[in-house]
Structure 1
Amino acid sequence: MKVEVGDFVLFHYIGRYENGEVFDTSYRDIAEENGILVEEREYGPIGVTVGAGELIPGVEEALIGMEVGEKKEVVVPPEKGYGMPEEELIVPVPIEQFISAGIEPMKGMYVMTDAGMARIISVEEDTVTLDFNHPLAGKITVFEIEVVEIRKKESS
């Protein structure tokens, strides 16, 4: 039985940068080995409906045609992954917004804003520049995926 669009699929994954460094995984032991373990997170296979846009396109396309127990490695270019960085998602804000909130802004720090998560890319005297691009925007990523379970879509 192969994965088709509309099927609900449970799968494990390991996400790596091109240099092999692991940045995310559904396996607790691999997260631990690579120093990226998040204690509050529940590790295990993730479930998605293929074709529903719940995944980056490169991984979703790779799942189609796979069978339970099958493993595959897929190289995902930015266009099929997290996109290219967009200049309009880099926004200067008055430093006063941080000071009044009791936050000491530092380059590289992530902050939650009304518009979502952003990374501080510079701190000037009067301005803090925020980058709302996904941290993996513009990067080629490599995913190792393993299908654990396939629940076929209901026929209508």
Structure 2
Amino acid sequence: MINLIKKGDYVKVDYILEVDGKVIDTSIEEVAKENKIYYPEREYEPIGFIVGNGELIEGFEEAVIGMEVGEEKTVTIPPEKGYGLRDERLIQEIPKEMFADADFEPQEGMLILASGIPAKIIKVTDDTVTLDFNHELAGKELKFTIKVRDVQPAESE
């Protein structure tokens, strides 16, 4: 009997994520090396999750429903089902003096934690630093190639 993935199932999948035509993440070591995004300290292996638990972005979880072991497909996920739309309210200008005690000099492009929240410095002037608290993939269309490696059906009640 073929087990089609449904909500509640535990699945393991390999994936390749492309944004703007460029591979930016993958669970497959060879693909990471080919695309020059390989990190030796990372474990490249299928990711496991329970479908419908909200462990991954909504569009990814929806994409695996109805797939079966060994199946591969490519899906394009809109921002609304990915990391959301960009929100201009999450761009904030703060006084540069707030960085006086920091152990670094703020520079454009730098990723920092501001009160424990990740932010990207997008502008630095003599008096201010502008921070963007949007997720780096907010507003982006995500192209995932997904291959199902394993399915453990949800426990029957």
- Cα deviation digits, residues 99-152 of structure 1 (max 9, x gap): 311211111111122242111110011111111101111111100000000011
SS at match of 2:17: strand
Aligned to 1:150: 151
TM-score normalised by length of structure 1: 0.94
Find 1:5's aligned residue among 4, 7, 18. Answer: 7
TM-score normalised by length of structure 2: 0.94
User: Percent same amino acid at aligned positions?
Assistant: 52
Q: Which amino acid is 2:130 matched to? A: T
Unaligned runs of 5+ in 1: none
Report how far residue 89 of structure 1 moved: 1.2
Aligned to 1:94: 95
Report how far residue 17 of structure 1 moved: 1.4
Worse-superposed segment, 143-152 or 39-48: 39-48
For 1:133 and 1:72, locate their aligned partners in 2 and report how far apart those are by CA, in whole Å: 29
SS at match of 1:93: strand
SS at match of 1:130: strand
- Structure 1 residues 19-58: aligned runs within 5 Å: 20-58=21-59
Q: Which amino acid is 1:102 matched to? A: D
Q: Which amino acid is 2:18 matched to? A: R
Worse-superposed segment, 86-95 or 52-61: 86-95
Across the aligned residues of Structure 1 and Structure 2, the Cα RMSD in angstroms comes to: 1.1
Aligned to 2:112: 111
Q: Which amino acid is 2:7 matched to? A: V
Report how far residue 32 of structure 1 moved: 1.4
